[in-house]
Amino acid sequence: MRSDSLALRLSGAALLIASTALPALAQDVTLRLVAPASAVGDALEQLAQTYAAETGGVTFTVQKFPSGDSYGQAVVTQIQSGAAPDLIYTNAGYGRLESLMPLAQAGHLADLSAGAWVADFPESARDVYYDGEALYGLPLSLTSVGLIHNTAMMERLGIAYPETEEDFFAACATAAGQGVSFSSASGAFPYYIVETIAAAKVYAETPDWNARRRAGEVSFATTPGWAETFATFARMAEEGCFQRGFEAASVPDLFAAMAGEQGATNVGPVTLAGAVLRMNPTLSLAVGPWPSGENTVALGFYNDALSVAAGSPNLDAALGFIDWLAEPEQQRAFTAIAGGTARADVAEGTFPAMIERLAPYYSAGEIVGLPHTGWTRLEVLDTLSRGATQIVTGQATIDEVLAALDAAWDAGE
């Protein structure tokens, strides 16, 4: 959505309603906010401007840095230099420099658990936002992950949406018979595929698997679902479900394969669909769950978050902005720019048409978070991505990869 559309959306009656809940400030306060130079950063900046206009006592300085490692490094540098901002865009859980759990455990983030909005906190995200009773981020939106599919292309191929894994493999054969692949993948970054399969084979039955692994109660090697997950991924490669040469394909190659209709599906976040549509806006894309029959679940995670620096000299003002941003109208305004689904819409069962197939699972509470956001060491995710491709290329067995995952996990203890 364009910025002028947002301004219209936040004007008039909606803004009047929002403004009634804004705090009265005794003096002018300037809050410094850091965010990535992306749609997420744009959304936060525009909402900050709206808040500033309505309070009359708060202004913002917004600093945006390139997304990815550059952003995380900028956050860490500011904190370590004693120049932490008041408000920090963070990621849920672990695994990135800007991930909120390591920052919180190092004492850099303020506890937000006193906010009124906490009563509606999504249970599926608790493990990657809370440390004990302390809460360290406001979830900004739900990002759905699943089987992104080209509905028109599947219809041309004569393929219905698969309900089981056997349906999926039958679709691979049908597509191959017509000179295309049913799915596409990046051998360098296959973790979305692997984790989506694991959501059904591991986390559907054991949603607290990450916590149990941290407690030493389970392991990758002793959990049958993990072996089954990698076996399914290997079968996808063996039966020609992916595009030729996927082992060496980059993420841009993956986008191009789907944009050029060389593949009918892909497993990844809804934002991947957005990237493909920017390359080819004529496509009709939707997102559904990984087909696992009775074990089918929705995979969705609240990755985008906003945190408050523990040492902020403007703590009350920063918390006031967080409370305002948590309100449904602001949540919806954020997702209108940044994408995803607002928490309020999830609670009400209102979902975008693109994720219509996921809606029943969300409404029923059959939701699993993205597994690696609960893994305390980035090396575990790296091992998973590398290991999945090594299994396919014959460089490692499934048992060897499972042992390597446990070794990577235990190396941090």
> Does a structural domain hold residue 345?
no
Residues 296, 179 share a domain = yes
Confidence of residue 10 (pLDDT cuts 50, 70, 90): very low
**Does 327 lie in the same domain as 273?**
no
HSE-up (13 A, CA, CB side) for residue 133: 1
Indicate whether 295 and 309 sit together in one domain: no
Residues 342-382 pLDDT 10s = 999 998 889 999 999 999 999 898 999 999 988 988 899 99
Task: Answer whether residue 349 is part of any domain.
Answer: no
**CATH number for 24:** 3.40.190.10
Provide Rg for the chain, Cα atoms: 22
* Whether residue 131 sits in one domain with residue 110: yes
Q: What local confidence, expressed as pLDDT, does residue 61 receive?
A: 97
- Measured between alpha carbons, how far is 372 from 103 in angstroms, rounded to an integer? 17
- Pairing of β 134-135 and β 130-131: antiparallel
| Residue 161 falls inside a structural domain | yes
Q: Is 374 helix (H, G, I), strand (E, B) or coil?
A: helix
* Selected residue with higher pLDDT from 109 and 23: 109
pLDDT at 23 over 50: no
Within a domain: 389: yes
| Same domain (yes/no): 27, 163 | no
Q: For residue 346, is it within any domain?
A: no
Tell me if 347 is assigned to some domain.
no
DSSP-assigned states of every residue in 79-123: HHTT---SEEEEESSSSSTTBHHHHHHTT-B---TTSGGGGG--G
Same domain, 269 and 405: yes
Sign of CA dihedral 396, 400, 404, 406: positive
Same domain for 131 and 275? no
Burial class of 76 by CB neighbour count within 10 A (0 to 12, 13 to 18, 19+): middle
Domain boundary among the residues 340, 364, 392 is at 340
| 125 within domain boundaries | yes
Q: Beta partners for 307?
A: 88
Please report, for residues 56, 115, 208, 392, the alpha-carbon distance to residue 29 in angstroms, rounded to integers and kept in the order given: 10, 20, 42, 56
Is 309 inside a domain boundary?
A: yes
% of the chain residues with pLDDT over 90? 76
CA distance 159 to 60: 51
Q: Please tell me the distance from the alpha carbon of residue 346 to that of residue 323, in angstroms, as a whole number.
A: 19
How confident is the model at residue 98, as a pLDDT? 93
- One domain for residues 26 and 81: yes
> Which H helix or E strand runs over 143?
strand 143-150
1 burial (CB, 10 Å; 0-12 / 13-18 / 19+) is: middle
Judgement on whether residues 252 and 382 belong to the same structural domain of the protein: yes
Are 103 and 191 in the same domain?
Answer: no
Q: By the 8 A CB rule, do 22 and 55 touch?
A: yes
State pLDDT tens for residues 274-306.
889 889 999 999 999 999 999 999 999 999 999
Query: Do 37 and 114 share a structural domain?
Result: yes
CA atoms within 13 A on the CB side of 307: 32
What would the mean pLDDT of 316-340 be, rounded to a whole number? 94
Q: Structurally, how many domains does the chain consist of?
A: 2
The predicted pLDDT at position 254 comes to 86
% of the chain beyond a pLDDT of 70: 93
Please write the tens of the pLDDT for every residue from 134-145. Answer: 999 999 999 999
Provide the terminal-to-terminal Cα distance of the chain, rounded to the nearest Å.
Answer: 45
Q: What are 181-237's pLDDT values in tens digits?
A: 999 998 888 999 999 999 999 999 999 999 999 999 999 999 999 999 999 999 999
Please state, in angstroms and rounded to a whole number, the distance separating the CA atoms of residues 343 and 142. 7
Q: Are residues 215 and 159 in the same domain?
A: yes
Phi, psi of 148 (to 5 degrees): -75, 125
Does pLDDT of 396 surpass 50?
yes
Listed in sequence order, the residues at least 6 apart from 44 whose beta carbon sits closer than 8 Å to its beta carbon are: 33, 35, 62, 89, 306, 334
Domain, as residue range, for 226: 143-300+355-410
State the pLDDT confidence band at 9, using cuts at 50, 70 and 90: very low
Rounded-to-integer distance, Cα 298 and Cα 199, Å: 8
Residue bearing tokens 């000299």: 313
Burial 93-116 (b: 16+ CB within 10 A, else e): bbbbbbbbbbbbeeebbbbbeebe
